[in-house]
Structure 1
């Protein structure tokens, strides 16, 4: 498949010419090294103000007042923020222009996570922890709002599959969906390499290993089992060293 050479979806996201979006035969759309990259080099960075965050949602002129009156989880807040910018006629288009670009060109329209399986496909997993956890996830995604259930499921799984957690201190962390950075695919063969820089108020992706020009650049999601990968991200890793039977 042909690749796209676009290197950013936001003026607040910096990718220089280090990586570009590319469609790979095995992993699908991801980020390709445009030059040789040394381990620990900064690949991408983004100002926190450009991130889909709780802070940005609460500061939204219309949606923020509603959110402040209701105590929602971080994921629910981010999901509603995504839907508001994408669909609501009350959304300020000028204020969220870059986020709308991200929704339109950077976020998939559908997911392959187990929550989107047909009933027939899900029955194959009956008796496993994946089946029970998927049923629970489906019940979690039901909500009463002006958005449809399918729209809300799309937004919630956008958050679950694309949000990153950044440690600010030993007690505090930030969670958000970072435009362009959220396109990095997973591999256990690289070290965990995303961080928050409090001095610059920016998030950064570092090279988890050295890359040659043309290689796919990866991020490590952590020691997660195939059950969790399929339930939240829609894929599995053959020979996953962290596979486990989850008791619920």
Structure 2
């Protein structure tokens, strides 16, 4: 892990939602390795989130864990109340620089089997929560800050067995472009990353099935599954000053899947 005083994100503070495992965890670790103080948000995975924060600390970085269910406005307000307190303790201010909207859920099932309850659940976390977590962040984000939304390559590739999930991520893309236009005057960039199939706990059953594993790997022009670190490296670039002239973009990080 680079020295926090020399990393590209030295002096910056980041909030990463859904950072207890998978892509969110990898992003939290990567941002911390560049010197950022990272707020590791989790919904229910208390142990995993604390392990992530502890690992960052053990490697010479700075982090703390925050738990809140994002499906209710009261919980989103509670998240920011806790964040304000923690940031005041760590930095002396309630402002931060980087918001990574990673928290999300997905259900793979046919269109005909998608119930109202399932659709509402997916939209509640993937769209509504992202919308209001971001809205609450705007009074706290410093000028020149970064907002990074995690979308999906399914927004450009037909996925009939993930119709509700695809719908929600399409909304994320639209939100990304509109928000980038609105926040440009403050020097805040807003971009979305679109991962493909990634080797995370969520996809464990597919990874462990030889036939499915091979089929998914073959979808990529690079012939393999994505790893969380593949996405985290893109997030680190978008969080840094290296990406200062990039905003309102949907960055495909699927290894050339379904080209």
Q: TM-score range by the shorter chain?
A: under 0.3
Q: Which has the higher contact order (CA 8 A, sep 6+)?
A: 1
**Structure-2-length-normalised TM-score:** 0.25
Q: Which has the larger Rg?
A: 1
**Structure-1-length-normalised TM-score:** 0.26
- Give the structure with the higher percent helix: 2
